[in-house]
Structure 1
Amino acid sequence: MALYRFRVTFEDYDDVVREIDIKSNQTFQDLHYAIHQSTGYKPDYPSSFYISNDQWIKGEEITFMPNQRRVDRGVSLMEKVKLSSFIDDPHQKFYYTFNFDRPFDFHVELMKIILDESPSATYPQVVKTVGEAPKQFGNVFNPTVLPPTSEEFDFLNEMEYNPEDAEDFSEVNEHGEAVEEEEEEVGEEEDEFGDEFSDNEGFEDDDRRGGSKDDY
């Protein structure tokens, strides 16, 4: 019985590689289980192989645990389709999507055909493992729950108010105006006018004195 050696790689993780030997008369479902024996994933999730070309373009679908839409379309089932039915190229390629709800995509490529199987071996058989497969369901997100906070805003506490700083606040009247500053401004204005009047008085005295001199 001929053996197929497939090279299996994650589409998004090039450094993770598996090589699997499987009999030509075994099914796509056997290959499906062998892949997840090598990744450590639980295999019982809806998945599909697609016959593809060298550019990994999806063609005919072969499915596992199909939904009703696939059943209605008459998509072939993995458990009923032998691998040899779709090996038309010595480097045949299959695009493989595992778990449609939280998918991982794989490239599955036929590397070589081995004519003599080992009588003591059990197939499928993982013959090469490179790299660690990513976690099946990724990292679990545990949000941090913050304690409830009061909606009230304590102005004095937020501003780090100190009673000793009360001297820095000016007294205000009912209109919110600073009383002391206003009085000081008024006083300054009076001083200015007072200075002007004092200068004028001096000027009048000079005129009087000057007039008396002229009369004299």
Structure 2
Amino acid sequence: MAVYRFRVSFEEFDEIVREVDIKTTQTFEDLHRAIQGSVGYSPEKSSSFYVSSDHWIKGDEIAYLPNQRKIDRGVTLMEKAKLSNFIDDPHQKFYYIYNFDRPFDFHVQLIKIILENEPGKVYPFIFKSTGEAPKLIENNGAVSYLLQAKEKPEDFDFMNEAGFEAEDADELEAMTARDFNAGEKAEDAPGDDDDKDSDDYAEHGDDDEDYSIDDSKDDDY
């Protein structure tokens, strides 16, 4: 019996991925339960698959625990819908919404068709799991989620590498302040070059006096 392999990813967190192997004769409810089991959520929430275009545009709906309006409209139920009846494309896509009260959107895509199932293996089977799913938090009926923070490389800690202790911080700050103030004073103080220029000017001034014209000599002529 043939087996479908689906790639399942969160729409908002596409780095979180599950790959699910499931028999072609199994139902969308089986796939729904396998996906929610792989991310640790309760499957007992109103949810739907939608036959999708290549651009994730939703088409026919396949529902689990639908509301009365959908039932009256004659929506297809997951427990009665075999996967093979809704797959016409070897890369078939389904848009999947979990829990309409606090929805999570998923992209589900057929990525491989395995011609024979492995004897003794229980299907659905989680072939691959990447990333930790957001954790759901329920509080008085309200549902929120917490996404596990990614680990980041630690920043280089100059203080620790240099052997500074916590009590050295104040001293280091004071040293920095003193160096800064000393630099400002050095910029404000007159330089030796300025003094030398002044002295040179004074010397040239004396020379000018030596070469001044004595008007009194004109009286001799």
Structure 1 residue 136: Cα displacement: 2.4
Structure 1 residue 139: Cα displacement: 4.9
Q: Which amino acid aligns with 2:28?
A: F
Q: Which amino acid aligns with 1:115?
A: L
User: Structure 2: which 5+ runs fail to align?
Assistant: 138-143, 147-221
Give the TM-score normalised by the residue count of structure 2: 0.62
Kindly name which structure, 1 or 2, has the bigger radius of gyration based on alpha carbons. Answer: 1
Task: Give 1:131's aligned residue.
Answer: 131
2: CA distance, partners of 1:94 / 1:110: 9
1:24 aligns with 2:21: no
1:99 aligns with 2:74: no
Partner of 1:71, secondary structure, is helix
1: CA distance, partners of 2:17 / 2:90: 20
Partner of 2:8, secondary structure, is strand
Closer, same or farther: CA 59–139 of 1 in aligned 2, 3 Å? closer
CA RMSD of aligned residues (A): 1.0
Structure 1 residue 88: Cα displacement: 0.2
Task: Give 1:149's aligned residue.
Answer: none
Task: Give 1:51's aligned residue.
Answer: 51
Q: How many positions carry a matched residue from both structures? A: 140
2: CA distance, partners of 1:6 / 1:136: 24
Structure 1 residue 116: Cα displacement: 1.2
Moved over 6 A (4+): none
1:6 aligns with 2:17: no
- Deviation sequence 1:142-163 (CA, Å, 0-9, x none): xxxxxxxxxxxxxxxxxxxxxx
**Is this contact kept in 1: 2:45–2:65, CA < 8 A?**
yes
2: CA distance, partners of 1:128 / 1:51: 23
- Deviation sequence 1:163-186 (CA, Å, 0-9, x none): xxxxxxxxxxxxxxxxxxxxxxxx
Partner of 1:132, secondary structure, is coil
User: Sequence identity of aligned pairs in percent?
Assistant: 64
**Is this contact kept in 1: 2:134–2:145, CA < 8 A?**
no
Structure 1 residue 135: Cα displacement: 1.3
Structure 1 residue 110: Cα displacement: 0.0
2: CA distance, partners of 1:78 / 1:94: 13
